């Protein structure tokens, strides 16, 4: 009788423990499949990236600058994960890597975020269920203001494009929310801007319905600048975010020299969320 009572108490205790979901975003800088890549990587380089990702122990990873599924297979065990990539562009796709313990119910490619330009990246959103918890999770990579935007006109155009991408992302996500009557949303990615910057181009994403939980993070490469990699959550998710778990892994602490340069010019960001 005592054993039965003990087992029942143990079962009830385990049922009352909140389940956790850990999500991560990581731009891996031209991650190719080893064939005519923009950045040539050795087996050790792929192993370095694989070790970084493994150390994050994330259930869902949003990746940016991915060539294809074969590239992802070089850094992750795809037998343990469901892998989804956008259909374009050729070498810098967005991707979602999701642990197979999570049920992926639907996947949507948000082409409107590419603004009709096949050189830009569409968004990728999955509708998932885990432990009785339904939610949306997405991977995004917005237009950069790069060295190629070398005139005032080109720079202004890049600013305007990010603003448009932000507005399209919000409208697209709200449509999905209304279709499913589910407001639990996690948006991950490289947004090439920060809501904390003066004259930010992505403020449309920081509103009454959604919040950047990464707005105070600094760039790992340029510590005086704000991070451009972000985790954005809806208000219903924010109240369950484990604030102490928000973490940017500084790659310079685990890699040096050429190994660091070849791995990425971004650092992964992760956070854990309590789910019922």
> CATH number of the domain that 153 lies in?
3.60.10.10
Residue 8 lies in a domain: no
Determine the structural domain holding residue 118 and report its residue range: 19-275
- Is the pTM here over 0.85, yes or no? yes
Residue 94 lies in a domain: yes
The helix/strand/coil state of 267 is: coil
Helices (H), ranges, 17-68: 43-56
Residue 82 has pLDDT above 90, yes or no: yes
Tens-place pLDDT, residues 241-251: 999 999 999 99
- Mean pLDDT, the chain, rounded, equals 93
The mean per-residue pLDDT over the stretch 220-248 comes to 96
- Both tokens assigned to 50: 């694989």
Residue 14 lies in a domain: no
Q: How big, in percent rounded to 5, are the helix, strand and coil portions of the chain?
A: 30, 30, 40
Residue 6 lies in a domain: no
Which residues have C-beta within 8 Å of that of residue 252, sequence separation ≥ 6? 220, 260
* Geometric angle at alpha carbon 245, from 202 and 269, rounded to 5°: 45
Residue 11 lies in a domain: no
Phi, psi (rounded to 5 degrees) for 84: -130, 135
Give the number of domains in the chain.
1
Residue 122 lies in a domain: yes
Helices (H), ranges, 100-226: 152-180
* pLDDT at residue number 2: 56
* pLDDT at residue number 276: 72
* Least confident range of 3-17, 31-45, 99-113: 3-17
The mean per-residue pLDDT over the stretch 81-89 comes to 98
Residue 233 lies in a domain: yes
Residue 4 lies in a domain: no
């Amino acid at each position: 009788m005592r054993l039965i009572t003990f087992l029942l108490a143990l079962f009830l205790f385990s049922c009352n423990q909140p389940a956790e979901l850990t999500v991560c975003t990581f731009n891996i800088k031209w991650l190719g499949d080893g064939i005519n890549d923009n950045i040539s990587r050795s087996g050790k380089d792929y192993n370095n990236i694989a070790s970084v990702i493994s150390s994050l122990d994330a259930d869902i990873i949003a990746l940016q600058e991915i060539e294809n599924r074969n590239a992802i297979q070089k850094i992750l065990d795809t037998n343990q994960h469901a892998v989804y990539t956008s259909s374009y562009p050729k070498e810098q796709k967005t991707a979602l890597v999701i642990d197979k313990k999570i049920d992926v119910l639907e996947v949507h490619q948000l082409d409107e975020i590419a603004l009709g330009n096949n050189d830009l990246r569409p968004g990728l959103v999955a509708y998932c269920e885990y432990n009785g918890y339904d939610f949306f999770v997405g991977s995004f990579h917005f237009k950069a203001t790069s060295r190629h935007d070398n005139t005032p006109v080109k720079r202004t155009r890049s600013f305007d494009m990010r603003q448009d991408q932000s507005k399209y992302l919000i409208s697209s996500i709200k449509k999905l929310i209304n279709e499913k009557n589910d407001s639990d949303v996690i948006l991950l990615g490289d947004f090439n801007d920060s809501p904390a910057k003066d004259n930010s181009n992505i403020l449309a994403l920081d509103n009454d319905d959604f919040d950047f939980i990464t707005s105070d993070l600094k760039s790992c490469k340029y510590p005086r600048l704000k991070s451009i990699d972000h985790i954005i959550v809806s208000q219903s998710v924010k109240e369950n975010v484990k604030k102490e778990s928000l973490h940017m892994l500084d790659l310079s602490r685990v890699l040096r020299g050429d190994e660091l340069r070849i791995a990425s010019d971004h650092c992964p960001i992760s956070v854990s969320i309590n789910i019922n």
